[in-house]
Amino acid sequence: RLASETTHRDMLDWRRSELERISKRSWNTYSGHLRTVYRYAMEHGLVDLKVNPLKETRVIPAKRPKKTVNTDAIVRARNWLNILVQEERATGNRTEITPAWFWLTVFEMFYYTGIRLNA
């Protein structure tokens, strides 16, 4: 079907079939880009349409779960690192992760600055 012959109903049907194989967030991205292409084509007289067929085709995506670390896990990790630091200082021997003081510093920097992986 030609772009100028595409209807809103066609897009809704296409959306239904696409949502069986892709996420709602992906659909919103794809349809947003196509909506922009249609808007450009309409503004420049490349298609004879009065209304963008992708208008109001967005879907509400599921909320992403928060990517936070359990407070208990943070406390246990901090305590473990502190124990390793004390052990290295007392014995002069290396522990499981060495130097423990360095990794405790890295841990605290991540904790207090809120630095995180964007994934």
CA 49 vs CA 6, 39, 102: distances in Å? 9, 10, 64
Mean per-residue pLDDT pooled into runs of 10, the chain (119 residues): 92 97 97 97 95 96 86 96 97 94 95 75
* Domain coverage including residue 101: 71-113
Are 40 and 75 contained in the same domain? no
Return the pLDDT at 79. 98
Is 31 found in the same domain as 87?
no
Position 20 scores a pLDDT of 97
Write down the pTM of the prediction. 0.58
6 vs 17, 56, 69, 95, 109, CA distance in Å? Answer: 16, 15, 47, 67, 54
The count of structural domains within the chain is 2
